[in-house]
Structure 1
Amino acid sequence: MDGVIYHGNKLLPGVKQFVEWLVKEDKKFLFLTNSSERTRKELQNKMSRMGIELDEKVFYTSALATAAFLSSQKPNGSAYIIGEAGLINALYNVGYSMNNVDPDYVVVGESHSYSFEKIAHAVNLVFNGAKLIGTNPDITGPVEGGIVPATKALVAPIEMATGRKAYFVGKPNPLMMRIALKKIECSNDETIIIGDRMDTDIIAGIESEIETCLVLSGITNMSMISNFPYNPHFILNGVIDLIEQ
């Protein structure tokens, strides 16, 4: 959502009109975010503060996708979590317990309390048999005035120290795309994915055979597109331009 709907706590131009159009035209839609920080309720409240009222069911995060994946792999398992409320609550709600001693998984998402001590502890847990999971493979994320390290950057030291590779659940993993399509009850050929990242949003659509729209309101600009061996179906300045297409 960051870079497409808002930057930090600032709504991007035309977003309110775009959302109103979605509702008026009775479009099926889902705000699919790779961020694992916030719960659905927190995302709903954030949008409300910016003047947009939506049901919390229209939000789906990489934290929820990660929880669903882990629950399917090992029901009622345990995890050592480096992350925020969105990730902790998602795992708790599928029956996972928090375990700092001998967890089944080490799960990493965006975190404001990332520290050397947590990295060192995670490294030892992985060495002792815990599987390493990342909520998404984003390296950076946009904020007002710049960028911040995202999940893949936080997972990297653990991978390097252990020699183990993390499994990333969020976009562009087709798993998350299949979940999204089921939630909106749509098929690939009647869906479009809108995003600001070539390396997650656009490739996720391409690999899932969904039409893609890159918006230049976030982390990608025109000069960066040629660095990738694939192209979006559409390139627009922002979501408001979709109404005019």
Structure 2
Amino acid sequence: MKLRYHALLIDLDGTIYHGDKPIEGAAELIAFLRKQEWSYRFVTNNSSATPMQVAERLNNMGIDAEPDDVCTSAQATAYYIKQHMPKARVMMIGEYGLQQALLEQGITITDEQPDIVVQGIDRSFTYEKAIKAVQAIRDGATSIMTNPDLLLPANGGFIPGAGSIGAMLKAASGKEPVIIGKPSRILIQYALDKLNCAAEQALVVGDNMLTDIRSGVEAGCDTVLLYTGLTTPANVEEYRKLAECEPTYCYTDLYELKQALMS
């Protein structure tokens, strides 16, 4: 495997950690990748945190990480806008991570006559924000959603995610958004671009058939499904049917993945 692939694109929640607890073997895998000088990126649908905040969270769990190791859906969203509509005025529904990503690309954020409405998770979301966003989209603004996750784990339960807000905006505006995060290929392609790596040279690693594996397949990458989170041997067949795709490799845990990379 080592001779065939040059880079790993690694999911976080369910693959590297559960909440604030690292998954067994995570620190060892990253230490191995660093020692062997493998290229890799942590690829997350999270649009609320900056790469620095994500890296700090990983380091607090004992997993070595630098901000440059992280690719977020917010970064990929800002990059997509800069590539396709560099002079666009953007209305933002989101949090600090999305705001910083847009500003770092030199994108103008405004509520007045926007060309684009960008929407991610927003735990301060209000009806007034919804009104402005829907009116802008109906008036012709392009709708972009950082990621389609309907639910996020929080305090042992779940809270509405970016996809839940997006579902309302879509229903009210009648327009389909451009989706950046997994299962879209756009986030994966952003990570590949940052690594200067061709799709066929990369492995997408994750625990979720519907997001991680699907996005890897859509981007033209081989994929690794781990039974460390959402997908298990008991439900994998169900998720295969729902995702309408197949992983290239399946491993029980991160130790097995590390062994495969050593072979």
Cα RMSD for the two superposed structures: 1.8
For residues 23-56 of structure 1, the C-alpha deviation after alignment (integer angstroms, 9 at most, x for no partner) is 1111110111111111111111111211223221
CA distance in 1, matches of 2:97, 2:85: 20
Structure 1 residue 242, shift from structure 2 partner: 0.5
Residue 249 of structure 2 is aligned to residue 234 of structure 1 = yes
Residue 206 of structure 1 aligns to which amino acid in structure 2? V
TM-score by length of 2: 0.86
Residue 244 of structure 1 aligns to which amino acid in structure 2? Q
Correspondent of 1:174 among 185, 205, 229: 185
Instruction: Assess if the C-alpha contact under 8 Å between 2:27 and 2:64 holds in 1.
Output: no
User: Which sections of structure 2, spanning at least 5 residues, go unmatched?
Assistant: 1-11
Correspondent of 1:188 among 190, 196, 199: 199
Structure 1 residue 76, shift from structure 2 partner: 3.6
Correspondent of 2:107 among 93, 96, 100: 96
Query: 1:35-114 counterparts in 2 under 5 A?
Result: 35-114=46-125
Residue 135 of structure 2 aligns to which amino acid in structure 1? N
Residue 24 of structure 2 is aligned to residue 10 of structure 1 = no
Runs of 4+ in 1 over 3 A off after TM superposition: 141-144
Instruction: Assess if the C-alpha contact under 8 Å between 1:142 and 1:219 holds in 2.
Output: no
CA distance in 1, matches of 2:188, 2:172: 31
TM-score by length of 1: 0.92
User: Which sections of structure 1, spanning at least 5 residues, go unmatched?
Assistant: none
- How many residues are paired up? 245
CA distance in 2, matches of 1:156, 1:69: 21
CA distance in 2, matches of 1:157, 1:58: 33
Instruction: Assess if the C-alpha contact under 8 Å between 1:225 and 1:231 holds in 2.
Output: no
Instruction: Assess if the C-alpha contact under 8 Å between 1:2 and 1:142 holds in 2.
Output: no
Instruction: Assess if the C-alpha contact under 8 Å between 1:7 and 1:143 holds in 2.
Output: no
